[in-house]
Amino acid sequence: MDLKTLKKQESKRKISKGYMWALFCAIFWGIWYLPGTVVWVLNPFDEMYATIAEVSGDGMSLVVTAVLITAFNALTVMLALMLWNGVLGKYGELGRTLKEFHPCSKWFFLASIFGGPMAILGSFIAMGFIGGAFAAVAGLLYPVIGSILAYYWYGEKISKRAVIGIGIIVLGGISIYGGGLLTELSSGNVPWIGYLGGLMAAAGWGIEGAIAGKGLDIAEPDAGLTLRFLGENIIWWIIIVPILAILGFPMYSFAFQVFEPLTMLILVFAGLTFGFCYVTWYKSFPLIGVGRGQGIGNLYGFCAVIFIFLFFGDIPDWTIIVGGLLCITGSFIMFTEDSSALETLRGE
C-alpha cells in the first residue's frame, strides 16, 4: 500500500469519527431536554419562578429562574468534564492549555461569552417573551452563521453538498417546531425583546463555533471545552448571579435550597448530557469542520422529539415527522459526501 492510499484511508477514518462525534452531540443534546424540562417543576426552581412572577411578571421570572438553572447546569457540566478528562488522562493537558492564555485559552474564554450568556440567555429570553418553539427554531439557525463566519474568518472550505445538507437539516428543524411557531407568532403582540433573544441564540452559538474552530487549531478539544465552561461558570457565578442579586432578585436564598437529592440528581444528569454533548461537538470541529459539525449537531431537534416521545409519551404532529425525514435526508447528503473533498478543511 503506498503512502497516498494510507493517507486517504487515515483521512476517511478521521472524517467518519468526526461525524460520529457530531452525532453523539445531537443525541446527548436531544436527551438533555428530559432533565432540562423536568428540573423546572422541582423545588426550589418552581417556587422561585412563582415568587419572582408575582413581583416582576412571568417573562422576567422565566429569564431570572433560567439564569440560576443555567448557572447550576454550568457547574454540573464542569463535574462531567472533569470525569471526561480524568478518564482520558487529560489533566496535564488541561493545565498546559490554561497556562497558554495568549495562543490558546483566550479563544475558549471568548467562546464562553458567546455560547453562555449570549446564546443561552438569548434562547431563554426568546422562550420567555415569545415561546419555546420560536426559541428552538431561532437556535437551529446557528450553523448558517457558524459556517459563514468560519468561511470568511479563516477560509474553512464548505462544499455545495454540505451547504445543501445543512440547509435541509435547518428546514427540517423549522418544520419540527413550525406548528408551535405559527401559534406563538399569531397569538397577538410579540415583544421585540423576544426576537432579539432569538437573534442572540443563533448568533451566539454560531460565533462560538467559529471561535472554537480557531482555538482548536492549536489546542485540544477536551481541554479547550473545559476551559470554555470554566469561563462560563465565572460569567454566571461571579458576574451575572451577583448582579441579579444586587438588583433585588432572590438568587442566593433559592440557590442555597438546591441541595435536595432529587433536584441535585436531575442537575447532575443535565450536566452529564450537556457536558458530553458539548465536548463531542468540539471534538467534531477539527475533523469535519465547524459547518458540518454544527449541521449534524442540529439533529438534536429531531433527537429531542424522539426522546420526548419515548419518555414523556408526547405524540408528535405530522409536521414533526416531515421535519424528522428532512433532517435524516440532510444528514445523509452530508455523510455520503466524497471524503476527498474533506481531506483539507481549510481553503488554499
Partner 1 sequence: MTQTAMAMEAYNAYWANSFLPAAHIMWMVLILMLAIVALWQARTFVSKF
24 binds partner 1 (CB under 8 A): yes
**x-marked contacts with partner 1 along 78-107 as a string, rule CB under 8 A:** ------x--xxx------------------
Query: What string of H, E and C letters represents the secondary structure of the chain?
Result: CCHHHHHHHHHHHHHHHHHHHHHHHHHHHHHHHHHHHHHHHCCCHHHHHHHHHHHHCHHHHHHHHHHHHHHHHHHHHHHHHHHHHHHCCCHHHHHHHHHCHHHHHHHHHHHHHHHHHHHHHHHHHHHHHCCHHHHHHHHHCHHHHHHHHHHHHHCECCCHHHHHHHHHHHHHHHHHHHHHHHHHHCCCCCCHHHHHHHHHHHHHHHHHHHHHHHHCCCCCHHHHHHHHHHHHHHHHHHHHHHHHHHCCCCHHHHHHHHCCHHHHHHHHHHHHHHHHHHHHHHHHHHHHCHHHHHHHHCCHHHHHHHHHHHHHCCCCCHHHHHHHHHHHHHHHHHHCCCHHHHCCCECC
**Residue 69 beta carbon to partner 1: minimum distance, rounded to whole angstroms:** 15
127 binds partner 1 (CB under 8 A): no
The residue among 22 and 326 lying less far from partner 1, judged by its C-beta, is: 22
**Residue 212 beta carbon to partner 1: minimum distance, rounded to whole angstroms:** 18
Asked if omega into 44 is within 30° of 0 (cis), the reply is: yes
The residue among 36 and 131 lying less far from partner 1, judged by its C-beta, is: 36
* Residues between 34 and 73 that touch partner 1 (CB under 8 A): 34, 37-38, 41-44, 46
* Residues between 306 and 325 that touch partner 1 (CB under 8 A): 307, 309-314
**Residue 88 beta carbon to partner 1: minimum distance, rounded to whole angstroms:** 6
**Residue 315 beta carbon to partner 1: minimum distance, rounded to whole angstroms:** 9
The residue among 44 and 324 lying less far from partner 1, judged by its C-beta, is: 44
Cell 436527551 found at: 31
The residue among 7 and 13 lying less far from partner 1, judged by its C-beta, is: 13
Report the distance separating Cα 60 and Cα 52, nearest Å.
Answer: 8
C-alpha cell at 196: 432579539
273 binds partner 1 (CB under 8 A): yes
The residue among 109 and 282 lying less far from partner 1, judged by its C-beta, is: 282
On whether the CB atoms of residues 323 and 179 are closer than 8 A, the answer is no
The residue among 13 and 346 lying less far from partner 1, judged by its C-beta, is: 13
- The residue count for binding partner 1 (CB under 8 A) is 39
The residue among 14 and 157 lying less far from partner 1, judged by its C-beta, is: 14
**Residue 342 beta carbon to partner 1: minimum distance, rounded to whole angstroms:** 15
Q: Identify the residue among 54, 242, 260, 347 touching partner 1 (CB under 8 A).
A: 260
Q: Identify the residue among 12, 14, 106, 157 touching partner 1 (CB under 8 A).
A: 14
On whether the CB atoms of residues 263 and 43 are closer than 8 A, the answer is yes
Q: Identify the residue among 262, 332, 336, 341 touching partner 1 (CB under 8 A).
A: 262
**Residue 79 beta carbon to partner 1: minimum distance, rounded to whole angstroms:** 12
Residues near partner 1 (CB under 8 A): 13-14, 17, 20, 24, 27-28, 31, 34, 37-38, 41-44, 46, 84, 87-89, 222, 257, 260, 262-263, 265, 269, 272-273, 276, 280, 283, 307, 309-314
